[in-house]
Amino acid sequence: MAGGLVNVRIRALVNRADTGGSLATIDAALATPGLPPPVATALAQLRSWVLLMDGRLGPAVAEAQRIRSAEGDATSSAAYLTLAFAA
């Protein structure tokens, strides 16, 4: 239940273009102990996208590269592909 509420909160903050609140909530969720790897990857990709939408290309690319290296497959990261087209 709590995870679902966090998801709704993050999406509401993103929809309002509250990048600071979005990033703070995403970072807090990422710090949750025992977070399943697919959920952590999805949150990290969302974090990268929020950074990109806020105009922070450098940090967004760094986050996407970290995700890509963690996944081990250069073509699997949707965040990285989005940044490749944006740059």
Question: DSSP readout, 15-43?
Answer: HTT-HHHHHHHHHHHHTSTT--HHHHHHH
56-58-64-67 Cα dihedral, nearest 10 degrees: -120
Distances in Å between the Cα of 86 and the Cα atoms of 8, 20, 21, 23, 49 are 27, 21, 23, 20, 11
What pLDDT is recorded for position 77? Answer: 55
What pLDDT is recorded for position 78? Answer: 61
What pLDDT is recorded for position 20? Answer: 93
Distances in Å between the Cα of 49 and the Cα atoms of 37, 42, 55, 58, 80 are 18, 11, 10, 12, 9
What pLDDT is recorded for position 86? Answer: 61
What pLDDT is recorded for position 74? Answer: 52
Segments of the chain with pLDDT less than 70: 1-4, 71-87
Exposed/middle/buried for residue 78 (C-beta within 10 Å: 0-12, 13-18, 19+): middle
What pLDDT is recorded for position 14? Answer: 87
